[in-house]
């Protein structure tokens, strides 16, 4: 769902179409046009079931950052209205979803001022409440010596079981924004981060799970050589 295209709308040429890809038949199917569908680019969609997805954040057609939670269910979109403090609107962030406890995590990304973020929030979907796990927001608890990625945006992300792999992206160093070769893995059960390493800087990239194997494959970017992460053999995650 979403993205940018020459046929998109507004200043940022954003899209509002929603598609489903059948992994058995390898066929794309477009859902009917929905006036409630968010028109966003750099959005984050988290698949929940075969017919349900969640989106938080992204950039709207006007350039304004999108701070809503949108639920796609049974072919139509509707807005969720969580209570209490909430993460600031952002793009280039990443997320995970735990179906067992019905929560969505939103973390890192870029604010409307261009500031890189490193806060982590949880949305309890059963109660409709946001809770900050760590970060600088006044609603966030202090986390002494908590290991996590530094402020980061536009990383490539893939979930493999209870692990969330976050690779490359943009970081700031001495006032300059640049691509980072770093990789991180989050164990979503214990909420513990471990750091991985990449030997090449990737500015645009694709990350995927090699189903049935212990590897995560990364390709594209400034160098098109595929890189492999030994995901199941990662220590400390």
Task: Write out pLDDT tens, residues 77-124.
Answer: 999 999 888 999 998 898 887 767 788 889 999 998 889 998 999 999
- As a whole number of angstroms, the longest Cα–Cα distance in the chain is 50
**What pLDDT score was predicted for residue 117?**
92
Percent of the chain with pLDDT over 90: 14
Average pLDDT, the chain: 77
Going by C-beta distance under 8 Å and a sequence separation of 6 or more, which residues neighbour residue 39? 2, 8, 9, 10, 14, 15, 16, 60, 61
Q: How many residues does the chain have?
A: 237
pLDDT at 11 over 70: no
pLDDT at 217 over 70: no
Strands 216-219 and 227-229, by their bridges, are antiparallel
**What pLDDT score was predicted for residue 45?**
65
pLDDT at 27 over 70: yes
pLDDT at 224 over 60: no
CA angle, corner 117, sides to 6 and 174, nearest 5?
100
pLDDT at 214 over 50: no
Q: In the structure, what pLDDT confidence band is assigned to residue 3 with cuts at 50, 70 and 90?
A: confident
**What pLDDT score was predicted for residue 13?**
76
CA distance 56 to 44: 6
151-198 per-position pLDDT tens digit = 999 888 888 878 888 888 888 887 788 888 888 988 888 888 888 865
CA distance 190 to 206: 26
Across 48-57, average pLDDT: 78
**Burial grade of 79 (CB within 10 A; 0-12, 13-18, 19 or more):** exposed
Token digits for 102? Answer: 């019905």
Cα separations (Å) of 236 from 25, 80, 163?
38, 36, 11
**Burial grade of 141 (CB within 10 A; 0-12, 13-18, 19 or more):** exposed
Higher pLDDT, 54 or 48: 54
**What pLDDT score was predicted for residue 222?**
39
Across 123-131, average pLDDT: 92
């Amino acid at each position: 769902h979403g993205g940018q295209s020459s046929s998109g709308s507004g200043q940022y040429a954003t899209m509002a179409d929603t598609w489903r890809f059948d992994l058995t038949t390898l066929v794309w199917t477009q859902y009917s046009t929905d006036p409630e569908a968010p028109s966003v680019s750099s959005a984050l969609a988290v698949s929940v079931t075969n017919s349900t997805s969640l989106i938080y954040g992204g950039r709207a057609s006007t350039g304004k950052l999108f701070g809503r939670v949108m639920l796609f269910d049974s072919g139509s979109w509707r807005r969720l209205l969580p209570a209490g403090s909430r993460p600031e609107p952002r793009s280039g962030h990443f997320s995970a979803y735990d179906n067992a406890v019905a929560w969505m995590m939103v973390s890192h990304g870029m604010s409307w001022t261009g500031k890189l973020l490193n806060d982590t929030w949880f949305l309890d979907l059963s109660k409709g409440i946001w809770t900050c796990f760590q970060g600088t927001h006044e609603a966030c608890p202090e986390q002494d010596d908590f290991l996590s990625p530094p402020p980061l945006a536009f990383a490539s992300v893939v979930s493999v079981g209870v692990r969330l792999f976050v690779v490359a992206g943009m970081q700031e160093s001495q006032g300059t924004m640049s691509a980072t070769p770093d990789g991180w893995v989050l164990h979503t059960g214990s909420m513990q981060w471990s750091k991985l390493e990449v030997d090449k800087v990737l500015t645009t990239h694709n990350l995927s799970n090699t189903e049935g194997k212990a590897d995560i494959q990364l390709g594209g970017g400034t160098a098109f050589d595929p890189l492999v992460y030994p995901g199941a053999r990662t220590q400390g995650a």
